Structure 1
Amino acid sequence: MNLSLALTITLLIPVLLIILTHWLPQTNPDLEKVSPYECGFDPLENARLPFSLQFFLIAVFFLLFDLEIALLLPLPWAMNLNPTTTITWMTALIILLTIGLAYEWLQGGLDWAK
């Protein structure tokens, strides 16, 4: 009984609010009220601004190495194996990511200005 009452109230309140917002009209819509607002951006300009691919690559590298830290820190507690096996897995992961970093460095992916 309590669960059905909670579910009914949980569903009833949002449905009533949605119906209420559709029935009540906007009081005084003008150009300023209906235009989107983003601080520092003109909403009437072209949305396709120039984007730095180098910045994107650096951000992706940061995410990859941040993921490496997130995977390496809990690894000894998560595996519950022999410490030598855990260290072997950690070393293999670090070597794999270091090889990837060296490859990107040699390809020029980390050069900010070309």
Structure 2
Amino acid sequence: MSLGYLYAGILLAAGFGFVILATTVSNILSPHKKTKEKSQTYESGEKPIGSAWVQYPLGFYIFALLFVAFDVDIVFIISWAVIFKQLSVFGFVEILFFILILALGLVYAWRKGVTRWI
């Protein structure tokens, strides 16, 4: 068995242990007295106006998913750019194909009206 797996397992167990320990200590030490202020909705120190249960248009969620998708894709493009000199023409064609698929997804979302706010 590789020593690297042992180290990774120890770090994973230590991470889980730290989270469980910190949560337990926090629950033991924190005050549990319920007050009117604690049960109110928090809005940056302002008194809440209206109900907190407001339906947002579906377009906001889809737009956010598009942002996350393209944000993650940037990570792949940057890592490709770092090793660009080591790649041959095949690597260049491969990233062009990747960008073409991204562009097609963006055109599809654009034509479906996802990028319109109103």
TM-score (structure 1 length as normaliser): 0.59
**Are 1:61 and 2:61 counterparts?**
no
Partner of 1:35: 39
SS at the partner of 1:74? helix
Q: Who wins on radius of gyration, i.e. which is larger?
A: 1
Partner of 1:105: 110
Partner of 2:94: 89
Shift of 1:94: 0.3
Contact 2:59 2:114 in 1 (8 A): yes
Structure 2 Cα separation of the partners of residues 100 and 54 of structure 1:
16
Structure 2 Cα separation of the partners of residues 65 and 18 of structure 1:
37
Structure 2 Cα separation of the partners of residues 60 and 41 of structure 1:
31
Contact 1:54 1:112 in 2 (8 A): yes
Q: Which runs of 5+ in 2 are unaligned?
A: 1-13
The 1:37/1:49 distance shift into structure 2, 3 A limit, reads closer
SS at the partner of 2:94? helix
Partner of 1:3: none
Contact 1:57 1:109 in 2 (8 A): yes
The 1:30/1:91 distance shift into structure 2, 3 A limit, reads closer
Percent identity, aligned pairs only, is 19
Contact 1:76 1:83 in 2 (8 A): no
Contact 2:59 2:117 in 1 (8 A): yes
Shift of 1:51: 1.1
| Cα RMSD after superposing both structures | 3.9
TM-score (structure 2 length as normaliser): 0.58
